[in-house]
């Protein structure tokens, strides 16, 4: 039985999905990482065109664990739904390996649609999967990945929902296999293509040269892991990629900022005076989360 609860209407989901496809007509753009409701609201406030919900970040936020396939399908569903509730932006949500076989992959896309997402990427790792920038990854066959993609494509209810095929083969079986896999994923109907953990600008340009004739938007991962080059969005576009993820940097910034605040607080004898300059003021934060709007709404119903 699927988890139930408040969900966006189908028309609202379709609107966001169609807006994501419109973004792809005018590249480049970035999907800003959001690991909770607050960062989703911040992403929209600063003008991000779309949000990305990372499995790496979800593993840390929900389970306090590294991205090694520990988060369940329904835990990720709830995590995505909380984020989708607070933003009007298109949400691109990590779907890992689809959480099992072809039937699990179908259930995954149905849940992601119910949560309010407009985009997902499915990867060709074997279980237990790992972050694409970790070593020791294992792959399923290209044929098994094609089966999962077909199953997802048939299961989506919104034709504008965008399915990205991701390969993690570059570090496992090499460049030529990565290209061959992505071509085969495009052949079964994947909407976009994503080769994770590319290692140089030269490699990026060659991947783009080989895949561009397929007519599928190409995705780059900006994660500052030390694996891929650190590029601006303009540089990403110059390498032949249409859009990018800034997936985990907001979470890393939060970790550093909160760690600094807590250390200073403890060192100062547990005084909030020592950390006041590091914090958003109380009233400003309440305004950010919509207190004035809710008070006005409450008054409409008061006697």
pLDDT in tens, 165-221: 999 999 999 999 999 999 999 999 999 999 999 999 999 999 999 999 999 999 999
pLDDT for residue 13 is more than 80: no
pTM, two decimals, is 0.94
Whole-angstrom Cα distance, residue 198 to residue 204? 7
* Bridge partner residues of 165 (DSSP): 122, 193
Closest CA to 178 of 151, 206, 215: 206
Contact between residue 57 and residue 247 where contact means Cβ atoms under 8 Å apart: yes
The predicted-structure confidence for 220-253, as pLDDT tens digits, reads as follows 999 999 899 999 999 999 999 999 999 999 999 9
Q: What is the mean pLDDT of residues 247-266?
A: 98
Q: CB-based contacts of 185: which residues, under 8 Å, 6+ apart?
A: 142, 145, 146, 149, 165, 167, 193
Q: CB-based contacts of 64: which residues, under 8 Å, 6+ apart?
A: none
In the structure, what pLDDT confidence band is assigned to residue 72 with cuts at 50, 70 and 90? very high
* Residue 41 burial (C-beta neighbours within 10 Å; 0-12, 13-18, 19+): middle
Instruction: Give residue 69's region: left, alpha or beta (phi > 0; psi -120 to 50).
Output: left
Percentage of the chain lying above the pLDDT 70 cut: 95
Q: For residue 128, what pLDDT is reported?
A: 85
The SS3 of residue 133 is coil
pLDDT for residue 152 is more than 90: yes
Q: What is the token pair recorded at 270?
A: 């547990």
Q: For residue 113, what pLDDT is reported?
A: 97
The 8-class DSSP code of residue 60 comes to I
pLDDT for residue 61 is more than 90: yes
pLDDT for residue 2 is more than 70: no
pLDDT for residue 8 is more than 60: no
pLDDT for residue 142 is more than 50: yes
Q: For residue 1, what pLDDT is reported?
A: 31
Whole-angstrom Cα distance, residue 98 to residue 121? 9
Whole-angstrom Cα distance, residue 276 to residue 248? 26
The 8-class DSSP code of residue 32 comes to E
* Residue 276 burial (C-beta neighbours within 10 Å; 0-12, 13-18, 19+): exposed
User: Which region among 47-51, 128-132, 254-258 has the lowest average model confidence (pLDDT)?
Assistant: 128-132
Q: Which residue has the tokens 């561009």?
A: 212
Domains along the sequence of the chain with CATH: 10-248 (3.20.20.60), 255-301 (no CATH)
What does the angle CA 224 – CA 230 – CA 232 come to, to the nearest 5 degrees?
120
The predicted-structure confidence for 97-136, as pLDDT tens digits, reads as follows 999 999 999 999 999 999 999 999 999 999 889 898 988 8
Do the strands 119-123 and 29-33 form a parallel or antiparallel pair, or are they unpaired?
unpaired
Q: What is the mean pLDDT of residues 149-159?
A: 97
Q: What is the mean pLDDT of residues 76-98?
A: 98
Q: For residue 10, what pLDDT is reported?
A: 59
Q: What is the mean pLDDT of residues 261-285?
A: 98
Q: What is the mean pLDDT of residues 151-176?
A: 97
In the structure, what pLDDT confidence band is assigned to residue 3 with cuts at 50, 70 and 90? very low
- Furthest-apart CA atoms within the chain: distance in Å: 70
């Amino acid at each position: 039985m699927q988890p139930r609860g408040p969900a966006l209407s189908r028309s609202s989901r379709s609107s966001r999905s169609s807006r994501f496809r419109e973004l792809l007509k005018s590249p480049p753009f970035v999907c800003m990482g959001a690991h909770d409701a607050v960062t989703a609201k911040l992403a929209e406030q600063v003008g991000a065109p779309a949000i990305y919900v990372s499995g790496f970040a979800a593993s840390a936020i929900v389970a306090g664990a590294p991205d090694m396939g520990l988060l369940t399908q329904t835990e990720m569903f709830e995590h995505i739904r909380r984020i989708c509730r607070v933003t009007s932006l298109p949400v691109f949500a990590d779907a890992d390996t689809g959480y099992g076989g072809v039937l699990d992959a179908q259930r995954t896309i149905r849940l992601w649609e119910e949560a309010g997402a407009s985009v997902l990427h499915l990867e060709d790792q074997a279980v237990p999967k790992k972050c694409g920038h970790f070593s020791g990854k294992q792959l399923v066959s290209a044929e098994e990945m094609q089966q999962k993609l077909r199953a997802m494509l048939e299961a989506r209810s919104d034709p504008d929902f965008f399915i990205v095929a991701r390969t993690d083969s570059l570090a496992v079986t090499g460049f030529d296999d990565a290209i061959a896999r992505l071509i085969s994923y495009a052949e079964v109907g994947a909407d976009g293509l994503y080769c994770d953990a590319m290692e140089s600008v030269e490699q990026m340009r060659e991947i783009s040269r080989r895949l561009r004739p397929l007519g599928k938007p190409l995705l780059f991962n900006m994660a500052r892991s030390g694996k891929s080059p650190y590029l601006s969005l303009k540089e990403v576009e110059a390498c032949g990629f249409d859009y990018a993820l800034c997936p985990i940097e907001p979470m890393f910034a939060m970790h550093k900022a909160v760690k600094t605040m807590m250390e200073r607080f403890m060192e100062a004898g547990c005084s909030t005076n020592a950390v006041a300059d590091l914090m958003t003021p109380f009233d400003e934060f309440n305004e950010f989360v919509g207190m004035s709007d809710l008070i006005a709404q409450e008054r409409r119903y008061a006697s």
